[in-house]
Amino acid sequence: MNNLSEGGPRMSHLSQSALSRRDFLALTGASVAAAAFPQTASAQAQLPAAELTSLTLKQASDLIKSKKVTSLDLTRACLDRIDKYEPVLNAFITVTAEKALAQAREMDAETAKGKRRGPLHGIPIALKDNIDTAGIRTTAASLLFAERIPIEDAEVLRKLKSAGAVILGKLNMAIFAGSTLSTYYKPAINPWAPDRTTAGSSTGSAVAVISEMCFGALGTDTRGSIRGPAGVCGLVGLKPTYGRVSNRGVIPYIWSLDTVGPMTRTVEDAAIMLQAIAGYDVADPSTVNQPVPDYVSGMKRAVKSLRIGTPSVPYFNDLSEEFRPAVHEA
């Protein structure tokens, strides 16, 4: 991972051909099998390191809780996968391997003493590179910020660290989270179809999660920058209500619309991550001082009585007739 060190921009890239859809499906077949045929915690603990990354965030959390697997096991498995696929997929701008391993050891030491911070305890995740990390460069994928090193963590990162999350590094994105997919670094590659877009701007977040390089990631969404990549890459992406999550320490695109949110492989995992980052921030006037509900319990409630409003004008004016019936039936 020398080309993705914590201190400076990428200096070199391995020359590899892009993965085909068939290759990637073959490589991630274990993930599909794990989802279709859930195993017991004991059986999961015996998975090879390469297959540990196919667990959902919740499954990995349960294994740490039951001491069937360690945070160090999960972190090493993620770093191995990053080593293997990052040169092709370009999901990361900076990998913080040594820091992540140190964090994992710290979380394992707490686990050994009977301390558990919550469901994110010891879970390896990653951050979009517009989220400030003290002592680690935060570039927003821009040449202008290529050597920018914040002195303070963003509030969402402070909350994640407090919850016990292990930070693997900083993820690729469209420059300054803009509407194009331009980046000072090589663009992130859609692992399902390398010739297709990842959508943007949270490109690396989507690619890293669906490629099983991490168990979850944070993105930011202004006009679809979480939801678009999640939809295109086949994962769960949530833009929380504006004011629910602090933007303090996040490089802005449109400050009155920007929102930090989770990107994961399941809805439950998204709820777990949102639970950790949501809440009032006295230093961020955009946040709202209201209690944070239990998102994990809330997602299990029946939806039969819920009603969804859909503003038809102007949003559906140009909707293709081919898709109109499917949208209304949904």
Span 219-249, pLDDT tens digits: 999 999 999 999 999 999 999 999 999 999 9
Assess if residue 62 is contained within a domain.
yes
Assess if residue 330 is contained within a domain.
no
Instruction: Express each pLDDT in 277-295 by its tens digit.
Output: 999 999 999 999 999 999 9
Domain, as residue range, for 94: 2-303
Concatenating the DSSP letter of every residue in 280-324 gives --TT-TTS---PPP-HHHHTTS--TT-------TTTTTT--TTTH
Share of the chain above pLDDT 70, in %: 86
Which tokens belong to 33? 């099998």
Assess if residue 310 is contained within a domain.
no
The residue type at 27: L
CATH number of the CATH domain containing 14:
3.90.1300.10
Contact partners, residue 203, CB within 8 Å, separation at least 6: 91, 171, 172, 173, 174, 181, 183, 187, 188, 229
Tally of CA atoms within 13 A in the half-sphere of 211 that contains its CB: 35
Assess if residue 324 is contained within a domain.
no
Question: In which element (H, E) is residue 111 found?
Answer: helix 97-112
From CA 154, how far away is CA 202, in angstroms rounded? 17
SS3 for 257?
coil
Instruction: Express each pLDDT in 14-46 by its tens digit.
Output: 333 444 444 544 454 444 333 433 443 333 446
Which tokens belong to 121? 């305890």
Alpha helices for 163-287 (secondary structure H): 203-210, 227-233, 267-277
Question: In which element (H, E) is residue 95 found?
Answer: strand 92-95
Assess if residue 294 is contained within a domain.
yes
**Tally of domains within the chain:** 1
pLDDT above 80 for 2: no
Which pairing describes strands 124-128 and 166-171: parallel, antiparallel, or unpaired? parallel
Instruction: Express each pLDDT in 113-157 by its tens digit.
Output: 999 999 999 999 999 999 999 999 999 999 999 999 999 999 999
Assess if residue 133 is contained within a domain.
yes
For the chain, what is the mean pLDDT?
A: 87
More confident residue, 56 or 49: 56
Assess if residue 308 is contained within a domain.
no
For every residue of 65-94, which 3-state class applies, written as one string? Answer: HCCCCCHHHHHHHHHHHHHHHHHHHCCEEE
From CA 191, how far away is CA 193, in angstroms rounded? 6
| Catalytic annotation, residues | 128, 201, 225
From CA 151, how far away is CA 262, in angstroms rounded? 24
N residues, the chain: 330
Q: What are the C-alpha distances in Å from 255 to residues 5, 57, 92, 246?
A: 30, 30, 24, 11
Assess if residue 6 is contained within a domain.
yes
- The structure's pTM equals 0.84
Cα Rg of the chain (Å, integer): 19
Q: What is the pLDDT of residue 133?
A: 98
